[in-house]
A and B are shown apart, each in its own frame.
Chain A
């Protein structure tokens, strides 16, 4: 029986649950799970919303053999204007557990491209992972998004990294420690030297429940400083970071009574690669370049106050790299990859020249509201 890819509807839900059961039972991986509900909890489609999620299933008779999501959104490209694009996310195929369905992965990716040629994927766990390899074969360009970290509690960090002897992460961290001295002193010194250059100026930080008009002004003021960014006006931000989501904090950073930037911060879910550490994330941020250091500082202080052991962030824009480095962050190996389809890559030309002016953070793609 032929496999047909179609929008995920409530009548598919039992077959999706059965699909999830097969994937988890055969692979033993609890993360291999697709949305059990046809209507996505985060960014459900609604009239006039600029950003929404839609889900698709690959159906063979009464079985679901694959599924994926598209996050439809609008990006701003400097000098070219606004474009509707989509993020390809959560592709899952029966081929993972049964190779007679090896074609399903190809069908999903090509179906997504047919629905939205301006397509991207983000994260993927690195360019050597199957999904990234598949997208590369389909002509996507791959760009790693630099990773920054700041150790808040070196003692705890070193103990936890000691326990993670096998991890690539630990190896990198340890090599930094080894190269710069030893233990917590080395970490503190490396971060301290970096932050000596920080002069973020005075600022006032306020936790807000929801974005409002001031965010529009910030968006309009700063968007010309980036080559590419998903729209971050107040309306979009209210949808991305709804007030009822408590896993994140929305920070408004101001000076002399005027907003100069904002940041989204949160504590990441426990992840074996970080052991028992509490890991905070600067998930998203926005400001004019001259105010980026103040936003980084404000977000860092808020997470430190919350008691995290380590703060991490992914940032693609060179001015934010500088702000993070001056804020005492160190650069680490990144497995967070931006993959742009052929059509999107054409739109973003000259990509090589401009990619360090893209504004891509952990908040882009499908990671919110909890998986950042």
Chain B
């Protein structure tokens, strides 16, 4: 039975980079009554185990590690006196912004909020999601779990490692294991191109001569109690394994770095519309979901490759919540944003052009396939808005395009289409 009833102006769900930046931004812009709820025993989210460098180049103009990046925000949050509930799990969220939370000290709590920011992040796809046949021995980990073992708990999960999937965490862990003395035999990627950032291919694989086997996958796992080896095979154009190319690789550990899924159980409970392309909530120009007053930011909306963009998105959500709490008229979301040819997804999916914050709107998108040279086109139902040439684009690297408010507002635009068309590369160009 719920015995504790709390009311809050703004509740932020999740204390990772998105939640931290959103809470700070809302408080800075005048919301006093902010509560941040985190299920782990500390703040910072996944950044705490991302001990490698490369964070903060856009936000701080310097290169930090994950824990250092998190620490800047945690320090600011503490100095601002923002209320935090740690070790607290939210188990229910309703569309009228009622939250049921639980922790070991207080038991069940009911929190009624005026506005909510969802910042639950994402989780890793596991073996079950990719259906690898074979035994189910010990020694199969997702890359992020292995990262937690090594970087936080101080345990090495194995000595001879095969990595399936070229996601960034897998690449980072290939280097980490090598530095700690393990042998990383190869990284197998089913697609003909890598899923990680180019810089990670260079500094995590090439630096240590770890082979990246493109168009390869694991077709069998051997070992009854502990992984003894895996069979890998090349795949054809339809991603089907070619039997004649099967090869046995002895190893004691298989790491999976096969993608991330936004964690939206709470969003679905609150009847928030989910975009099938991102697996995250449909959001508008200020990161507001289809339920007015419930906002979302960071990896819960779409999986980012850079934390800096998570921070910027979260700041927008924080400002958006402030706007919502002070406004009299509801938003109208009059423009729908459509991913056109060559585009995997676009965020935001809806725009109320009159309520664009900061006089500009950023669109985040991913291409469907790598292109050496592509033309990015932004067109509305009233005519073209932007045309720009991009180079070396790949699905693993998010594209960010900025459109000015006056290009969208007051023109009675109904829809906006963003597309990417491959252009011929001229030698010496």
Whether chains A and B associate is no
